Each structure stands twice: as structure tokens, then as C-alpha cells.
Amino acid sequence: MERHRSWAEPWKVKVVEPIRMLTSEQRQEALEASGYNTFLLRSEEVYIDLLTDSGTSAMSDWQWAGMMLGDEAYAGSRNFYHLEEAIQQYYGYHYIVPTHQGRGAENLLSKVLVRPGDYVPGNMYFTTTRLHQELAGGTFVDVIVPEAHDPTYEGPFKGNVDLCALEELIARVGAERIPYVCVAGTVNMAGGQPVSMTNMRELRELTARHGIRVMLDATRAVENAYFIQQREPGFHERSVAEILREFCSYTDGCTMSGKKDALVNIGGWLALNDAVLYEEASNLVVVYEGLHTYGGMAGRDMEAMARGIVESVQDDHMHARVGQVEYLGHKLIDLGVPIVRPVGGHAVYLDAKAFYPHMTQDQFPAQALAAYLYADSGVRAMERGVVSAGRDATTGKHHYPKLELVRLTIPRRVYTQAHMDIVAESVAAVYGARAGASGLTMIHEPRYLRFFQARFKPLHTG
Ligand code: F0G
């Protein structure tokens, strides 16, 4: 019988950045100074930074070499054309509008397509995406499959669109009130869960019957393609690149945060296949981002992103990237820690409701858990629960998401398995001390995307 063999990253380290852990007293002080919000910590106060996989990737020597080839012309930079070619080749869309990051593209798309009174169905909300839809006068409607809300359910494609729920919405409000369906692959707020190719094909067929567009949030679509290769019958022999291209072919365009899959520190784009919509978007981008051949990015950043796209679709890269996330996830499962199952593509999500059943959601259990984790070891994570969900635009009440999670997000090509071991031990220690944990109260609440800048204090001290 063939023995199981280990795999390793398809790169070696060329440059290192020192990191250090503050003392326990210093960490406690930092936590108080930051209002128990990990977004308000200074990076220097953090030991292992799992706040986000956004803009935190390590670039390759080939990408850095590309940075030296930046053509910083105001108009028509050659790097724009490299970027356009890479997106056309690997994602398959016709027209590209560069933006400074994903939310820049969301702003343009919402302004071009959403009208007051419209409904925008999506496979679970994302914070900035939904806010742009709302600011344009639309109402987001969640049409993800119900099992996405159950952290213990082991389904291969928990990011799928619930086609019956979508059909019901179309029947209720009318196709003319739905400018597009917003599909994200993988689904960040559901634990990094993927969408199947079958679901995309069926979604395409259903929406085509009603004349409704499908817009992809392609932020982590390459990771989604890797899951299709690994989990969906018929795709095992196909490359991640081929799968990505087919996946995108069922959509009419995409918004993209290049800061994730595309392995850069800044950048994004809006892609469209419709010439009329492109005309509108390439006109609007000059108002909010910059000329349509740079959209808020320097030439060098467009070059790094064009090269990052090529690297991101390599099978061995994706194997190591998702493999590291799975390594941490399975370690935590072995330690008995409750996490969202199965392990997602870019992060391991701790189930804060299961950690702290004695806290109500009004006591912000995920926010508290992220704070306890930082206090234990200087590991920085992110709340993805009631604080991130915000308030209902009409009633002003908290959204109470079923999932109350803490996200341990793994930057690409940055940390080693040894860092993952430290993280797992710290999470296990915090889990061991769960009975004595207490919740938080919010003492400052910003109006938009409150999770970034809200401040808290402990309900009970000592
Ligand atoms: N869509 C998804 C699914 C995202 O995860 C993000 C960003 C965006 C859109 C917006 O892109 O940040 O470039 O403007 N997610 C980051 C995160 C912030 O930490 O998950 P952006």
C-alpha cells in the first residue's frame, strides 16, 4: 500500500520580517487602549496577525520584479494592458475597470445597476457589498442554502444559492426589481464555504429565463475553483485555471478585491461583458477612483496584480494555500474546539456561540473571544458576528446572524506551520478557560460598518 506523503509549499523564503510577542501586561494594556476591538490594535502589538487575508499576502520575486517595471503614465499605462490581458485570459471577462480595491468596484456596480426599491439577492451578505447596495437604495436578500447557517453541518458546498428561495423572491417582487444576483465564491461570512459548478450552471439557467444578470464577487473565486476540483464529481482531472474560467462563464461580470486571491497588497477591479454597462462604469470610475486605465492604482501595482493572477491559479499554489488553512482547522478539531465545518478556504472560524453558551448575542461573544485570544498570546483574529452584521437599515435594530464567529484568517505565503501550532495551542487554552469568560458592552458605535471602529468594555472585570 502507498504510504501517505507530506506536501510542502512550492516556494522558499527570501526575505523575513521580525515579529515579537508583547508581555501579558502589555497585551492587556493594548487591549484596553484599543477598546477591545482588534481592528484598533497597532500591528506592532500583534504577534501572529490573523485579522485578515486581505492585502496581507507575501509577493513573489517575480511580482516584486514587476513592481520595477511600473509605467506610471496617467493614461494608457502598459501595466493596465497586462492586467486586462490576465483578467481576460484567466477570468474570461471582456471589459475591465481597475479600482483601488474591491469596495471601489462594488460602489461602481451598485451605482450603475441598483435603483431605489430594487432587491439584490445574494449567497449571504458581505459587509461592504451590502452597504453599497443599500446606499444605492436597494435591499439585500439572503438566498444562501439553509445549511450555511449551521456550523456543524459537513456539506461540500455550503455556499450554494438556494434556487427555490430565489424563485420565490422573483415571484414576490418581480424580475424587473432584481438588477442582478450577487454570488460570492467562496462565501466569507459563511466560513469560507464554496459554491459548486452545478449550482452555478443551474443559477445561470434560472436567471436567464427571467432576464436577470449574475454578478460574481470573485474575491476568492480561485479558492472556490480549488474546492470544485477537490470535491465535485467530474472535476478532479481539470486544472484550477480551467475550472475558474468555466465558473466565471456563468456570470455577466465581477467585482474583485485583488488583495485576496490575486496576491497583492492593494488593488481590485470591476469586470463586465456588456458594452453599455462598461461605458457607464468607465465613465463613473473617473469620479471616484481615477482614469479608467488606472482606477486608483499605480502602474506598478497593476503589474504586481497581473502577475499575482498568473501565480494564483497554479494548482500547487492553491494546494499549499488551502492546505495550510486545513492544517490549522484539523488541529483545532483534534483539540475538541468548536469550529465551522468543513474547514473553509481562507480561514478557520471559531464558533463563539458554542464557546460561550452562557452569553447572549447582545454581550458580543465573538468580539469577547477575539479579545481573550489576543490577551492569551498576541494572536489577532476578527469578529464575524453581531457586531459585523450591523443594524437593519429600516428598523435600526441589530441584525442577529445565526453564525457568531471569530475568524482566524490565514495570509497567503506568510506564516509557517509552526505559527499555526502556536495559534492552535492558544485557542485551546482560551477554550479551556471558557467557563470564566464574560461578555462586552459597546461604548462607541460608528454609523457605517461599525465593526471597524466600535469600542467596547468588559461587562464584568476580574
Ligand atoms: N467581497 C468579499 C467577499 C470580501 O471578503 C471583501 C473584503 C470585499 C468584497 C471587499 O474588498 O476589502 O478590497 O474593499 N474582505 C476583507 C476581509 C476586508 O477581511 O474579509 P476590499
Last residue of a domain, one of 312, 340, 367: 312
With a 6 Å cutoff on the Cβ, whether 49 touches ligand 1 is: no
Domain assignment of residue 79, yes or no: yes
The atom number, within ligand 1, closest to the CA of 259 reads 13
Domain assignment of residue 123, yes or no: yes
pLDDT band at 306 (very low <50, low <70, confident <90, very high): very high
Best residue among 131, 255, 260 to mutate for probing ligand 1, ranked by most atoms within 8 Å of CB: 260
Residue 99, CA distances (Å) to 108, 133, 363 in order: 9, 17, 37
Which one of 217, 252, 301, 351 is the catalytic residue? Answer: 217
Q: Is the pLDDT of residue 462 over 60?
A: no
Round to whole Å and give the CA distance between 397 and 276. 39
Q: Please calculate the CA angle 44-46-47 and round it to the nearest 5 degrees.
A: 115
355 shares a domain with 210: no
422 shares a domain with 377: yes
Residue-wise pLDDT for 217-230, tens only, equals 999 999 999 999 99
Share of the chain above pLDDT 90, in %: 97
Which one of 126, 140, 278, 349 is the catalytic residue? Answer: 126
Round to whole Å and give the CA distance between 29 and 287. 43
Range of the domain at 222: 61-312
Asked about 126 being catalytic, the answer comes back as yes
Asked about 118 being catalytic, the answer comes back as no
CATH number, domain containing residue 353: 3.90.1150.10
Per-residue cell: 265? 497588497
Q: Nearest C-alpha to atom 16 of ligand 1 is from which residue?
A: 54
Residue-wise pLDDT for 371-425, tens only, equals 999 999 999 999 999 999 999 988 999 999 999 999 999 999 999 999 999 999 9
Asked about 331 being catalytic, the answer comes back as no
Q: What is the pLDDT of residue 394?
A: 87
Best residue among 56, 106, 126, 131 to mutate for probing ligand 1, ranked by most atoms within 8 Å of CB: 126
Q: What is the pLDDT of residue 74?
A: 97
With a 6 Å cutoff on the Cβ, whether 101 touches ligand 1 is: yes
308 shares a domain with 393: no
Domain assignment of residue 121, yes or no: yes
With a 6 Å cutoff on the Cβ, whether 222 touches ligand 1 is: no
Domain assignment of residue 354, yes or no: yes
381 shares a domain with 453: yes
Mean pLDDT, range 28-40, rounded to an integer: 98
Domain assignment of residue 236, yes or no: yes
The structural domain count of the chain equals 2
pLDDT band at 461 (very low <50, low <70, confident <90, very high): low
Asked about 452 being catalytic, the answer comes back as no
SS3 content of the chain, % helix, strand, coil (to 5): 45, 15, 40
284 shares a domain with 257: yes
Mean pLDDT, range 439-443, rounded to an integer: 97
Last residue of a domain, one of 280, 312, 344: 312
319 shares a domain with 307: no
Which one of 259, 260, 331, 412 is the catalytic residue? Answer: 260
171 shares a domain with 84: yes
Domain assignment of residue 335, yes or no: yes
Residue-wise pLDDT for 41-79, tens only, equals 999 999 999 999 999 999 999 999 999 999 999 999 999
The atom number, within ligand 1, closest to the CA of 184 reads 3
Mean pLDDT, range 108-115, rounded to an integer: 98
With a 6 Å cutoff on the Cβ, whether 219 touches ligand 1 is: yes
Q: What is the pLDDT of residue 50?
A: 98
Domain assignment of residue 5, yes or no: no
Round to whole Å and give the CA distance between 76 and 313. 26
With a 6 Å cutoff on the Cβ, whether 126 touches ligand 1 is: yes
Which one of 38, 52, 56, 127 is the catalytic residue? Answer: 127
Round to whole Å and give the CA distance between 206 and 358. 44
DSSP annotation of 383 reads E
Q: Nearest C-alpha to atom 21 of ligand 1 is from which residue?
A: 102
pLDDT band at 320 (very low <50, low <70, confident <90, very high): very high
Round to whole Å and give the CA distance between 67 and 293. 17
214 shares a domain with 66: yes
CATH number, domain containing residue 73: 3.40.640.10
Asked about 455 being catalytic, the answer comes back as no
Residue 183's contacts (CB-CB under 8 Å, 6 or more residues apart) are 122, 123, 161, 195, 200, 203, 214, 215, 216, 217, 251
Question: If you average pLDDT over every residue of the chain, what do you get?
Answer: 97
DSSP annotation of 23 reads P
Cα–Cα nearest to 39, from 362, 446, 458, 391: 446
Domain assignment of residue 443, yes or no: yes
Q: Which residue intervals of 117-181 are DSSP H helices?
A: 127-135, 163-173
Last residue of a domain, one of 312, 338, 361: 312
Backbone φ/ψ region at 390: left (φ over 0), alpha (ψ -120 to 50), beta: left
228 shares a domain with 130: yes
Residue 269's contacts (CB-CB under 8 Å, 6 or more residues apart) are 83, 87, 96, 97, 98, 99, 105, 255, 256, 258, 295
With a 6 Å cutoff on the Cβ, whether 380 touches ligand 1 is: no
Residue-wise pLDDT for 123-174, tens only, equals 999 999 999 999 999 999 999 999 999 999 999 999 999 999 999 999 999 9
Q: Is the pLDDT of residue 319 over 60?
A: yes
Mean pLDDT, range 254-271, rounded to an integer: 98
CA torsion angle 62 256 167 189 (round to 10)? 90
235 shares a domain with 92: yes
Best residue among 123, 257, 261 to mutate for probing ligand 1, ranked by most atoms within 8 Å of CB: 257
296 shares a domain with 260: yes
Instruction: Answer yes or no: are the C-beta atoms of 70 and 300 closer than 8 Å.
Output: yes
Q: What is the pLDDT of residue 393?
A: 83
Per the DSSP assignment, residues forming a β-bridge with 180 are 213
pLDDT band at 370 (very low <50, low <70, confident <90, very high): very high
251 shares a domain with 330: no
The number of beta carbons lying within 10 Å of the beta carbon of residue 116 is 8
